[in-house]
Chains A and B, each alone.
Chain A
Amino acid sequence: MTPMVDVRAAHKMFGDLHVLRGVDLVVQPGEVCVVLGPSGSGKSTLLRCLNELEQLTGGSVRIDGELLGYREDEAGTLHRLHPSDIAKQRSRIGMVFQRFHLFPHMTALENVMEAQIQVLKRSKAQAKAKSVELLERVGLGDRMDHYPAQLSGGQQQRVAIARALAMDPELMLFDEPTSALDPELVGEVLAVMKDLAAGGMTMVVVTHEIGFAREVADHVVFMDEGVVVEEGPAAQVIDGPTQDRTRDFLAHVL
């Protein structure tokens, strides 16, 4: 089976700062992969490289077998893809941000409709029907005409999830989706994510929610200082870590 995400020997430099130092990551279709690690470990950078918001300095990312950002010719030379082709690749990968990044000048409904119309060229009616369905699914059927500023953080993040799902992505990326939320609002977002996982969506989640990782993740990756320190099934990594660094980290967050 072709893995949904296949990262090989990923390196990322920001100037002189070596953020990713040879990361390999394989996520199978339908799998939920949770990436844990202290801040500055490179986990968010890794996630942003999975949809070309950041470009790798070395190594490769394949999504569903397709090389991200480049075309490889017979001689093995890489050719950078045209921005519109990269945009097309991105449209198949949903991303949810820590700070939501909803479009403040559009209602919840318009936020979810926008890219369907602009990118997928769906008709307004089609886009609207899809958006209503998704907003109802994330429990916001009665908030569709609200602007983001009129919604709570948890509601905004659920709209952001609906906005990403509207593109019918084959992969969803979550970059600390609950870190900017008040504690009592975290649950509603995690519930939507659990529902999504149960529906078979392939997900890569960067989070500090160990409980969520233990309950939902098929596969947990622990990163530190730009490398994968330890990975495996959730129960193994979280409850029986073999590396000291993993144990230290878990002792601090649990």
Chain B
Amino acid sequence: MTTASSTDPVPNRIHARPVPRPGRWVAAVIVVVLAAMAVHGLVTNPKFRWDIFWLYLRDVTVIRGVGWTLILTFGSMVIGVVLAVILAIMRRSDNPVLRSVSWFYIWLFRGTPIYTQLVFWGLISVLYPTLSIGIPFGPEFVTFQTDVVITAFWAALLGLGLNEAAYLAEIVRAGLGSVDPGQEEAARALGMKESRILRRIVIPQAMRVIVPPTGNETISMLKTTSLVLAVPFTLDLTYATNAIGNRLFEPIPLLIVSAFWYLLITSIFMVGQSYLERYYGRGTGTERPRRTGPRRPRFGRQAAIKASGTAKDDPFLEVTP
């Protein structure tokens, strides 16, 4: 062994040989060969009809389908989130009627297939040909034709949103439950009212647990929108590409067109989600506090919540039944 350089602060630095790991090389080679075979098969097989794929990738009907799919995804998530917060708060209520109704809603909408629910919403105008606003069991003031008010689009949106609310309600409930009860107690001791405690103290801390799985649900919803043909709503991405594929007797390239778009949108969501998660799970609470300049309270705030350990870290806490 040569003498260590005089600047090395560790005079007896260890220069050992690593453990030989031939298995790693073998495994890597096998996996690379398999992957190359898969790519080769994809590119060289003429039955994939990449020419049709390229032709229809930017087809007007397909792009319009992407638009409708996005509208359905975000619209139903908005309905879902609003309803979920209401359901989760009902679930925590002292009122046994509200608690049971919330439990029943979640039981029903989580316990039946989304496909069944979508067909049901599609048939709502058969079940109830007219809808009225009036006094319950009493006189009616305004009456609508159901099939005029609840079009296929609204039936699809409602069906997806009402179903999603049941799942999100459990996520919100887990989030609210993850906040240290001492927080509520401290706020109560200060004389704050229950509604204020929820809004100012509990919900901001619960957001850390609620946001990541909600991002997950959004990605899941993007693909669930392909089921709206059950309503039937026929403008979304899957229906559009299937229709073209059937017309051309070329289902494969059109399936790949829709898969491409779903993947692209999911990838964009994933980037967004990773930013959200970094933002909500950020830091260790040791960064410098802000002193001057524009206020960016959210950043240190989330780090502080995390560091305090008053909210449990597990985003899937009690969510799965």
The contact of B185 among A53, A114, A119, by CB within 8 Å, is A53
B200 with A104: CB separation less than 8 A: no
B205 with A145: CB separation less than 8 A: no
Quick check: is A57 within 8 A (CB to CB) of the other chain?
no
Q: Known interface pairs A83-B194, A99-B182, A149-B285. Does A51 touch B189 (Cβ–Cβ under 8 Å)? A: yes
Complex alpha-carbon distance, A94 and B190, angstroms: 7
Rounded to whole Å, the gap between the CB of B309 and the closest CB of chain A is: 8
Most chain A Cβ neighbours within 10 Å, of B182, B190, B289: B190
Quick check: is A103 within 8 A (CB to CB) of the other chain?
yes
Q: Which residues of A sit under 8 angstroms from B301, Cβ to Cβ?
A: 105-106, 147
A103 with B201: CB separation less than 8 A: yes
Complex alpha-carbon distance, A124 and B286, angstroms: 28
Quick check: is B17 within 8 A (CB to CB) of the other chain?
no
Quick check: is A202 within 8 A (CB to CB) of the other chain?
no
**Minimal Cβ-Cβ distance residue in A for B207:** A105
Quick check: is B186 within 8 A (CB to CB) of the other chain?
yes
Quick check: is B308 within 8 A (CB to CB) of the other chain?
yes
9 sampled A-B residue pairs with Cβ under 8 A? A87-B193, A95-B189, A105-B302, A118-B200, A145-B291, A149-B285, A149-B307, A167-B190, A167-B191
Rounded to whole Å, the gap between the CB of B280 and the closest CB of chain A is: 11
Q: Which residues of B sit under 8 angstroms from A89, Cβ to Cβ?
A: 191
B191 with A101: CB separation less than 8 A: no
A87 with B183: CB separation less than 8 A: no
Rounded to whole Å, the gap between the CB of B206 and the closest CB of chain A is: 11
Quick check: is A77 within 8 A (CB to CB) of the other chain?
no
B190 with A97: CB separation less than 8 A: no
Rounded to whole Å, the gap between the CB of A91 and the closest CB of chain B is: 3
Residues of B within 8 A of A (CB-CB), count: 32
A103 with B286: CB separation less than 8 A: no
Q: Which residues of B sit under 8 angstroms from A11, Cβ to Cβ?
A: none
The contact of A148 among B187, B189, B290, B308, by CB within 8 Å, is B308
Q: Known interface pairs A147-B285, A149-B285, A149-B303. Does A164 touch B204 (Cβ–Cβ under 8 Å)? A: no
Q: Known interface pairs A53-B188, A87-B188, A87-B192. Does A147 touch B183 (Cβ–Cβ under 8 Å)? A: no
**Minimal Cβ-Cβ distance residue in B for A145:** B289
Q: Known interface pairs A95-B189, A105-B301, A150-B286. Does A118 touch B183 (Cβ–Cβ under 8 Å)? A: no
From 148 to 190 in chain B, residues with beta carbon under 8 angstroms from any chain A beta carbon are 180, 182-183, 185-190
A91 with B190: CB separation less than 8 A: yes
Q: Which residues of B sit under 8 angstroms from A196, Cβ to Cβ?
A: none
Complex alpha-carbon distance, A160 and B185, angstroms: 13
Quick check: is A12 within 8 A (CB to CB) of the other chain?
no
Q: Which residues of B sit under 8 angstroms from A192, Cβ to Cβ?
A: none
A101 with B304: CB separation less than 8 A: no
A101 with B190: CB separation less than 8 A: no
Complex alpha-carbon distance, A91 and B188, angstroms: 9
Complex alpha-carbon distance, A105 and B183, angstroms: 11
Quick check: is B196 within 8 A (CB to CB) of the other chain?
yes
Q: Which residues of A sit under 8 angstroms from B191, Cβ to Cβ?
A: 87-92, 115, 119, 167
Most chain A Cβ neighbours within 10 Å, of B286, B304, B310: B304
Q: Which residues of A sit under 8 angstroms from B183, Cβ to Cβ?
A: 101, 103
**Minimal Cβ-Cβ distance residue in B for A51:** B189
Complex alpha-carbon distance, A89 and B191, angstroms: 7
Quick check: is A137 within 8 A (CB to CB) of the other chain?
no
Quick check: is A163 within 8 A (CB to CB) of the other chain?
yes
Q: Which residues of A sit under 8 angstroms from B300, Cβ to Cβ?
A: 147
Rounded to whole Å, the gap between the CB of A107 and the closest CB of chain B is: 7
B204 with A105: CB separation less than 8 A: yes
A90 with B189: CB separation less than 8 A: yes
Q: Which residues of B sit under 8 angstroms from A88, Cβ to Cβ?
A: 191
A104 with B192: CB separation less than 8 A: no
B182 with A163: CB separation less than 8 A: no
Complex alpha-carbon distance, A188 and B307, angstroms: 23
From 68 to 103 in chain A, residues with beta carbon under 8 angstroms from any chain B beta carbon are 83-84, 87-95, 97, 99, 101-103
Quick check: is B305 within 8 A (CB to CB) of the other chain?
yes
B304 with A164: CB separation less than 8 A: no
Q: Which residues of A sit under 8 angstroms from B310, Cβ to Cβ?
A: 104
Quick check: is A18 within 8 A (CB to CB) of the other chain?
no
The contact of B182 among A97, A105, A115, by CB within 8 Å, is A97
Q: Which residues of B sit under 8 angstroms from A160, Cβ to Cβ?
A: 186
In addition to A83-B193, A101-B180, A163-B190, 5 A-B residue pairs with Cβ atoms within 8 Å of each other are A83-B194, A84-B193, A102-B308, A115-B191, A148-B308
The contact of A103 among B186, B189, B290, B302, by CB within 8 Å, is B186
Q: Known interface pairs A84-B193, A87-B191. Does A114 touch B289 (Cβ–Cβ under 8 Å)? A: no
**Minimal Cβ-Cβ distance residue in B for A119:** B191
The contact of B289 among A91, A101, A106, A107, by CB within 8 Å, is A107
**Minimal Cβ-Cβ distance residue in A for B300:** A147
Q: Which residues of A sit under 8 angstroms from B180, Cβ to Cβ?
A: 101
Q: Which residues of A sit under 8 angstroms from B286, Cβ to Cβ?
A: 150
Most chain B Cβ neighbours within 10 Å, of A88, A99, A119, A149: A149
